[in-house]
Amino acid sequence: MKNLFLSFSVILFVSYSLHAQFLTRADSLELKGEYAEALKLRLKSYKESPNPERTYNLACCYALNKKGDSAFYFIYQFIDTVQLDQLNWVLSDKDLEPLHTDLKWNDIKYKLDERVKNECKCSNKALALELRDMKIEDQRYRSYTQFTVKRQELDYTETVSLLKIQATYDSINQVKLLPILDKVGWPTISMVGTDGSETAFLIIQHANIELQKKYLPVIKKLAKIKEVTWNDYALMKDRILVMEDKKQIYGTQSRFNSTTGELELFPIKHAKRVDKRRKKIGLYPILVPYEIQPDVFVYPPKIGK
């Protein structure tokens, strides 16, 4: 399950409706493995006010309930109604894993490929598809870890195992991407679309610091001409600073504080000025909730020392 659609109005965020209450309760039930009860709430919310996010979450809930035909019905409906850049999560979402052995899953992948070929406003659609597949592998085991941690099903041994598997896929993706970077340069938005460009960022973001530092100036240069997003630049810049045990400047990196038992942001340089820096590159203020801006993972933000 994933919150695929971000509201761009703080008013919408703070105005809690009955629908939001249903979804919150349904999420809680799913985390407990009470899928049948969660399905009742998903259905009620969908029938009262259908939208793409509820369509997708209903499909996931049907999949968790082993009701494949209904899950596929709503997945098809979702695919036909949303923008291209909202589709890639479908192929790596842990909730939909029960559908993967069904022959109709191949049709889902085919439909997604066709949408990339037909709709991606980019000059290299073949590379866009190749990067899409890399992104699936980049996110797959991160999705699995998130899924099992939320359901409190993961012990230390399983965590280490998943991290090792993910590290293997990260290395494979790097081996695939680096020759591409040498041949065509950084995959830009005009070349492979926003999602394809972001995939290149994710792969390097999950690589070693030497690769990150090598490509950070490239990302900054391209961000200035809107060929990559400034969000990518901010995330990588902060990641490098944190890895060098320095204070981040955009407030995008968080950690678990073992003393307080809570998440907090890594220390921020001149924290009172962080929103000015964020505004300068088009990011929301740091106090805007996660549902509005996905790059700040802690809300309300607590800044570590």
Per-residue CA distances from 205 to 94, 163, 200 (Å): 22, 16, 8
Whether residue 152 sits in one domain with residue 107: no
More confident: 160 or 285: 285
In this structure, of 7-21, 155-169, 188-202, 245-259, the range with the lowest mean pLDDT score is 7-21
Using a pLDDT cut of 70, give the percent of the chain over it. 80
pLDDT in tens, 110-132: 999 998 888 888 999 999 999 99
- Position 168 in a domain: yes
Residue 294 has pLDDT above 80, yes or no: no
User: Is there a single domain that holds both residue 29 and residue 89?
Assistant: yes
Confidence (pLDDT) at 154: 52
- Asked if residue 232 lies in contact with residue 223, where contact means CB atoms within 8 angstroms, the answer is yes
Placement of tokens 């407990």 in the chain: 32
Decide: residue 286, CB within 10 A, 0-12 exposed, 13-18 middle, 19+ buried.
Answer: buried
Q: Do 136 and 212 reside in the same domain of the chain?
A: yes
Query: For the CA atoms of the chain, what is the radius of gyration?
Result: 20
| Per-residue model confidence as pLDDT tens digits over 6-19 | 332 222 222 333 34
Note the pLDDT of residue 88: 72
Q: Are 214 and 207 in contact (CB under 8 A)?
A: no
Same domain for 115 and 133, yes or no, is no
Q: Are residues 112 and 199 in the same domain?
A: no
The pair phi, psi for residue 48, each rounded to 5°, is: -75, -35
The three-state secondary structure class of 41 is helix
CB atoms within 10 A of CB 139: 20
Q: What CA–CA distance (Å, rounded) separates 215 from 201?
A: 9
Q: Quote the pLDDT of residue 243.
A: 95
Are residue 174 and residue 271 in the same domain, yes or no? no
Q: Are residues 142 and 202 in the same domain?
A: yes
The reported pLDDT for the residue numbered 144 is 64
Packed helices 156-184 and 189-205: angle between N→C axes, nearest 10 degrees = 140
Whether residue 300 is contained in a domain is answered as yes
- The answer, yes or no, to whether residue 263 has pLDDT greater than 80, is no
The last residue of a domain, from among 85, 119, 153: 119
Does residue 3 fall inside a structural domain?
Answer: no
Average pLDDT, the chain: 83
Count of the separate structural domains present in the chain: 3
Contacts of 220 (CB under 8 A, 6+ apart): 233
pLDDT surpassing 80 at residue 204? yes
Using pLDDT thresholds of 50, 70 and 90, give the confidence band for residue 147.
Answer: low
User: Domain range holding 271?
Assistant: 238-305
pLDDT over threshold 50, residue 233: yes
User: Over 70: is that where the pLDDT of 76 sits?
Assistant: yes
170 and 204 housed in the same domain: yes
Q: Is residue 295 part of a domain?
A: yes
Task: Mark which of 74, 99, 119 sits at the end of a domain.
Answer: 119
